[in-house]
Amino acid sequence: MIKLTSVILLICTSISLFAENGSKLWLRYESTTAVNVVCDRTSPTLAIARSELEKAWDGEAGATVVLTVVKDSAIIGDGFRISKNSIQANTEPGILYGVFELLRCQQTDQVTQEKISNPAYNYRILNHWDNPDGSIERGYAGGSIFWRRGQDSLVVTENDKLRWKEYARANASIGINGAVLNNVNASPSMLTKDYLEKAKAIAEVLRPYGIKIYLSIKFSSPSMLGGLSSSDPLDPEVIQWWQTKVNEIYSIIPDFGGFLVKANSEGQPGPQNYGRTHADGANMLADALKPFGGIVMWRAFVYAPDSDDRAGQAYNEFMPLDGQFRENVIIQVKNGPVDFQPREPFSPLFGAMKKTSVMPELQITMEYLGQEVHLVFLASMWEEFLNSETYQEGSGSTVARCTDGSIFPQKYTAIAGVSNIGLDTNWCGHHFAQANWYAFGRLAWNNKLTSDQLGEEWIKQTFYMPASNNSASSESSTEWTENFLIPIKEMMLQSREAAVNYMMPLGLHHIFAGYDHYGPGPWYAPKGLRADWTPPYYHQADTNGIGFDRTLKGSNAVSQYHEPLRSQFNDVNTCPEIYLLWFHHLPWDYKMKSGRTLWDELCYHYEAGFQKVHEFRKIWDAAKPFLDSDRFAEVQKKLNEQYLNAQLWKDGCLLYFQQFSRRAIPKDIEPPVHNLEGIVSGDHPEI
């Protein structure tokens, strides 16, 4: 039997040969095994499919793989039929997706069984919050890959095209087929001729990979760009302006996908400025796009400063409009009713809007989960969300089935993820943040995949060392599996729950510091700031208890959920403890299922999250022999910073809430190392 030290020597030797910086993402494969690819037609997309097979084939040497574009009623959209040596699809992008699936099976040691794989959603889209000046709102991986500031901001370079090509390749490998190129807080300049010409250049690079481009628009563009006195969606001049603009766009980009719209939200203009409804605004745009096959993605992220409960406003505004939207309008709904929090119940709009296409909006970039510093695998969150029972059509009415066309006859199905991609060498700011981009794409294609499956796939493709791959010893592979794959995957699967525990356990939410949405700030409430932009609005802590009362006797947000959820959430005895303080304001001595008081339970959750990050550091340190030195050191540095941040979250929240609970922190919990005054004043250089 080969000793572990021998394996370590083998792998460490490989490190000097295979230095890694993360730029290859999960597409690190290289192969010298020959394969014969047969295809009876040619095109840019099929040429890419052939090339990927030839440079990555890891099957039988000299095997023949046949690629065939067919007409098969069992294959839907860009789906494909795959076997060991054959890929069939109705479309050329389907062939490309099948190629990547075949290669993924080889890279992850999965048996390639004959099967048909159809996408769960027609539109699988990345939303880039990129600005014309090259900055990215809530971007943590450097500047925009599409835009930049300065006199040459609209110039297209060969380096630009190379970056876009690698971006498109990565997206195609996981089934993503759309990209919104700019921020939902849109600049009207995006619809000018110069920006449309650059968008055309981007589209030309992405097109062979099966990716369409979309643009976020400013609803007031007719008045801001066109000089009209109004942007009223029922004004004939406004309608004509949009029709002319859409005609111009399609003359430049014939396969343009459509518009993403943020309207009457956070100060953005919209149809309500003119006494019109969301349906009026969305339908006007949909009518202009329909002749070209374009769609409108209309965001349901709306809330007003005078609302008694921000969590309920989207439902109140959109439910009365169900059935009034054109068929090429898709309402884009954030996974939770507030704002991409570490944990939220699903938005009650899912399943409730039965006559309107509804698409989930997930956030890949970790605005509220440690940004580019913390290791948090979001697949666990998304799996929880997609599998949530809405009960709208009885048992089995999960969010996934309510949005993918399984239950409601939606002509268009879609899912969107807010991108975490930037100009950083490793694309995402954190090597493990790449896993969230990967997991989003795979879930968009197959919303039944588990976070366990996704984690294992990504680890094998991202970290398996070439020396181990090329070694004839099965014992080397076994050592890698037992000492790297299993513990690293477990760390990833536990990471989201750890973050919830050291940030906002038991249903707490939106208690971040200031505007950066990073560190703790349950105390943050400057004078003059609207209440729903301050944490006390959400945690409602006082000497009597803590939590937001959304029961029938409170804000009544529970009434937006279908039975039996309505009653379950409303009753403190049946409400899941993970949502307890989301729906209930409870006394500090409320008895939890563990037998502890609410205060003690809160303390133990914060401690558990903090200690789990400490455990993650140990797991990563133990994995050093199986890693290249660069990525090991970079992730180690991030984990050390995350550990300090978790300590700060735990100390700040417990010391702050202790002022109201007036109870001692349990003695078996590690006492705070900070003082509250220092944290509140910002005297904590570690963040």
The residues, ordered by sequence, that sit 6+ positions from 470 with a Cβ below 8 Å of its Cβ are none
Confidence at 468, pLDDT banded by 50, 70, 90? very low
Cβ partners under 8 Å of residue 308, min gap 6: 555
Q: Which phi-psi region, left, alpha or beta, contains residue 311 (left: φ > 0; alpha: ψ -120 to 50)?
A: alpha
For the cut 70, the answer to whether the pLDDT of residue 101 exceeds it is: yes
CATH fold of 500-548+585-680 reads Alpha-d-glucuronidase, C-terminal Domain (3.90.1330)
* CB neighbours of residue 266 within 10 Å: 11
Average pLDDT over residues 465-487: 73
Residue 128 and residue 182 in contact, taking contact as beta carbons nearer than 8 Å? yes
**Strand-pair partners of 260:** 216, 297
Mean pLDDT, rounded, for 276-300: 98
DSSP 18-53: S---STTTT--------EEEEESS--HHHHHHHHHH
Which tens digits make up the pLDDT trace of 548-596?
999 999 999 999 999 999 999 999 999 999 999 999 999 999 999 999 9
**Cβ 101 vs Cβ 135: under 8 Å:** no
Asked whether residue 214 carries a pLDDT value surpassing 90, the answer given is: yes
User: Going edge to edge, which strands form the sheet with 63-69?
Assistant: 35-39, 63-69, 86-89, 80-83, 115-117
Q: How confident is the model at residue 83, as a pLDDT?
A: 94
Confidence of residue 477 (pLDDT cuts 50, 70, 90): confident
The mean pLDDT value of the chain amounts to: 94
Domain 26-118 belongs to what topology? Chitobiase; domain 2 (3.30.379)
CB 283 within 8 A of CB 325: yes
Contacts of 443 (CB under 8 A, 6+ apart): 120, 379, 382, 383, 386, 415, 449, 454
Q: pLDDT grade, residue 5 (50/70/90)?
A: very low
Least confident piece of the model among 109-118, 437-446, 498-507, 548-557:
109-118
Compute the average pLDDT of residues 218-238. Answer: 98
Q: What does the pLDDT average to over 524-544?
A: 95
Q: Average pLDDT in the 166-195 region?
A: 98
Q: Which of 500, 265, 183, 495 has its CA nearest to residue 368?
A: 500
pLDDT at position 31: 86
Asked if 233 and 263 count as a contact pair (C-beta separation under 8 A), the reply is no
Residue in the block written with tokens 């804000």: 555
Residue closest to 508 by CA, chosen among 578, 557, 444: 578
What is the model's pTM?
A: 0.95
Active site residue 101: no
* Residue 8: pLDDT over 80: no
Whether 266 is a known active-site residue: answer yes
The neighbouring-strand residues paired with 329 are 296
Q: Which range among 372-386, 469-483, 666-680 shows the weakest confidence by mean pLDDT?
A: 469-483
Assess whether pLDDT exceeds 50 at residue 289: yes
CB neighbourhood size of 91 (10 A): 16
Residue 133 in 3-state DSSP? coil
- Determine the 3-state secondary structure of 333 from DSSP: strand
- Give the pLDDT band of residue 471 (cuts 50, 70, 90): very low
Catalytic hit among 78, 232, 367, 651 = 367
Other CB atoms within 10 Å distance of the CB of residue 687:
16
Whether residue 407 is predicted with pLDDT greater than 50 in this model: the reply is: yes
pLDDT value of position 111 = 83
Would you call 178 helix, strand, or coil by DSSP? strand
Average pLDDT over every residue of 460-485? 76
Nearest to 225 by CA among 259, 252, 196, 187: 187
Convert the pLDDT of each residue in 118-160 to its tens digit: 999 999 999 999 999 999 999 999 999 999 988 788 999 999 9
Average pLDDT (598-607) is 98
**Per-position DSSP letters for 49-88, written without gaps between them:** HHHHHHHH--SSTTEEEEEEE---TTS-TT-EEEETTEEE
Break the chain into its structural domains and give their ranges. 26-118, 123-218+309-464, 500-548+585-680
Q: 152 catalytic, yes or no?
A: no
- Integer CA distances (angstroms), 638 to 429, 463, 673, in order: 10, 17, 21
Which of 378-382, 497-501, 515-519, 638-642 bottoms out in mean pLDDT, i.e. has the lowest? 515-519
Q: Span 423-442, mean pLDDT?
A: 98
Residues of the chain above pLDDT 70, percent: 95
Given 287, 309, 339, 372, which residue is catalytic? 339
- State the CATH class of domain 123-218+309-464: alpha beta
